[in-house]
DNA sequence: GTAATAATCACCTGAAAGGGTGATTTTAAG
DNA sequence: CTTAAAATCACCCTTTCAGGTGATTATTAC
């Protein structure tokens, strides 16, 4: 018997998964939560075997919650859950100890398979999620670069449309310095002009 | 008796809404579809009163499908459905004839209220959706500019990091022409350099 | 304390972008 | 058929960007 708990801020999704799982003999509905706090509250006095966790929630998101849960309850398997097929998120979830990732547009069969696989200690990726992850890793060795505070600041100003001289005036620096930071940004992102820089920054949610 | 049909590519969502509505006496489940084509197929021989329509689907998306449905079956009320609270989409759905918009993280009560309101010929916005719409209209006079196919094409290439000469070579145009398009893009977006252009394009999901 | 990183400043050069103006040619829509 | 919009091409000039190289001064980590 696998006790399944779900954290998702969409009642429709909770209801949908509940409904899909309710006739499964080897699956027991442990409970549900609509945000990270109420999830953590639940596990103070209860437990579960597999937690289905939405990636995007108000307040603490799935990525963070995943890390906290794994630290406190390392025996619980976490299965990421999202409508998006965003490689970056999948990667972050996995780095934080999730055992798999499944998209909400998966079939009932796929959902069950994911739960069983994860419960048995395996790793599960729904087809599209796997593709998204691979596509992500291919498309961007991206590895969002480590930016210094100054670089982040200047990146934002560049994105706003300010030129080097304008930025220099704005934050009281030499235009040469601003230009150095700008060039470092290009180097760190591995791109060769501002257009590509801003595009990547946007995709990495840095803006 | 209100016959409700749903179009959504997420089985979990279909199941969830089905489950939420199945005990409502004045609501009848007309059917479901997981994409635009199968939805249009259904309405050839059947009908419904209210259609819950996901905004983001593979192939034709909700915005387009909404327009097609409204043209063919003007008597059917359409209620937009999404996990996102993106003002831009809400606006487009409404422009294409939807009668309202509701987020998937709404409660059962809100869902029922939305269905009834729309069925009675009213307009319904779930709280957050309304806020998102207002926030969108405030934040960006953005009004995503109408771009010609050529402009879209060149915008993408600029975002990829290609320079005017490179783009010219790639699509067999004079560099002067590419530059003209580029300047038109800056004008249409109301920005003064590439950085701001790409940032806006990214925010408007044009990349 | 010392090594590594961040932050700062400087200059040279050529390429690219941005502002302005104007024009011809398709193509689509009425 | 006519009008509007899109697409095409051209050249002026100034600013900004990008590549390369090198250097000094905090700040932080070990």
Q: Please answer yes or no on whether A161 and B20 come within 8 Å at the CB atom.
A: no
Closest CA to B92 of B146, B139, B149: B146
The answer to whether some atom of strand D lies closer than 7 Å to the beta carbon of A186 is: yes
**Closest chain B C-alpha to A192 CA, distance in angstroms:** 7
Interface of A with B (CB under 8 A): 9-20, 56, 83, 104-108, 111, 158-161, 163, 191-199, 202-203, 207
Do residues A158 and A182 touch, judged by C-beta distance below 8 A? yes
Tens of pLDDT, residue by residue over B46-69, are 999 999 988 877 666 777 788 888
| A148, closest nucleotide (Cα–C1') | C6
Q: For residues B204 and B139, give the distance between their C-alpha atoms in angstroms, rounded to a whole number.
A: 12
Count Cβ neighbours within 10 Å for each residue of A145-161 and write b for 16 or more, e otherwise.
bebeeebeebbebbbbb
CA of A193, C1' of D27: distance in angstroms: 30
**Which chain A residues are closer than 8 Å to B196 by Cβ?**
159-161
Do residues A128 and A84 touch, judged by C-beta distance below 8 A? no
Residue A60 corresponds to which tokens in the numbers above? 């603490």
For residue B197, the model assigns a pLDDT of 92
CA nearest A207 in B: which residue?
A: B199
For residue B36, the model assigns a pLDDT of 84
For residue B110, the model assigns a pLDDT of 81
Torsion angle defined by CA atoms of residues B176, B180, B185 and B186, in that order, rounded to the nearest 10 degrees: 90
pTM of the model: 0.56
For residue A136, the model assigns a pLDDT of 47
Residue B40 corresponds to which tokens in the numbers above? 């249009």
Average pLDDT rounded to a whole number, residues B158-180: 92
For residue A109, the model assigns a pLDDT of 82
Residue B8 in 3-state DSSP? coil
The answer to whether some atom of strand D lies closer than 7 Å to the beta carbon of A183 is: yes
For residue B98, the model assigns a pLDDT of 80
Q: How do the pLDDT tens digits run along chain A, 207 residues long?
A: 899 999 988 888 888 888 888 888 899 999 999 888 888 888 888 899 999 988 877 666 777 788 888 878 888 888 888 776 566 677 777 777 788 888 777 788 888 888 888 888 777 777 655 555 555 444 444 456 778 888 888 999 999 999 999 999 999 899 999 999 999 999 888 889 999 999 988 887 777
For residue A127, the model assigns a pLDDT of 61
Residue A168 in 3-state DSSP? helix
Give the angle subtended at the CA of A27 by the CAs of A25 and A29, to the nearest 5°.
Answer: 120
Q: Is the pLDDT of residue B142 over 50?
A: no
């Amino acid at each position: 018997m696998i006790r399944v708990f779900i954290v998702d801020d969409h009642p429709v999704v909770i209801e949908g998964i509940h409904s899909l799982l309710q006739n499964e003999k080897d699956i027991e509905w442990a409970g549900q939560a609509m945000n990270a706090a109420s999830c953590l509250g639940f596990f103070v006095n209860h437990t579960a075997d597999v937690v289905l966790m939405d990636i995007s929630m108000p307040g603490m998101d799935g990525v963070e919650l995943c890390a906290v849960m794994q630290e406190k309850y390392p025996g619980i398997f976490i299965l990421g859950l999202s409508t998006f097929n965003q490689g970056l998120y999948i990667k972050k979830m996995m780095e934080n100890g999730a055992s798999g990732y499944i998209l909400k547009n998966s079939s009932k069969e796929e959902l069950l398979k994911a739960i069983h696989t994860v419960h048995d200690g395996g790793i599960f990726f729904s087809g599209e999620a796997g593709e998204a992850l691979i596509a992500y890793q291919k498309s961007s060795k991206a590895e969002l670069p480590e930016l210094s505070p100054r670089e982040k600041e200047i990146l934002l100003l560049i994105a706003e449309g300010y030129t080097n001289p304008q930025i220099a005036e704005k934050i009281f620096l030499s235009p040469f310095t601003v230009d150095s930071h700008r060039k470092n940004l290009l180097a760190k992102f591995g791109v060769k002009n501002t257009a590509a820089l801003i595009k990547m920054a946007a995709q990495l949610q840095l803006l």
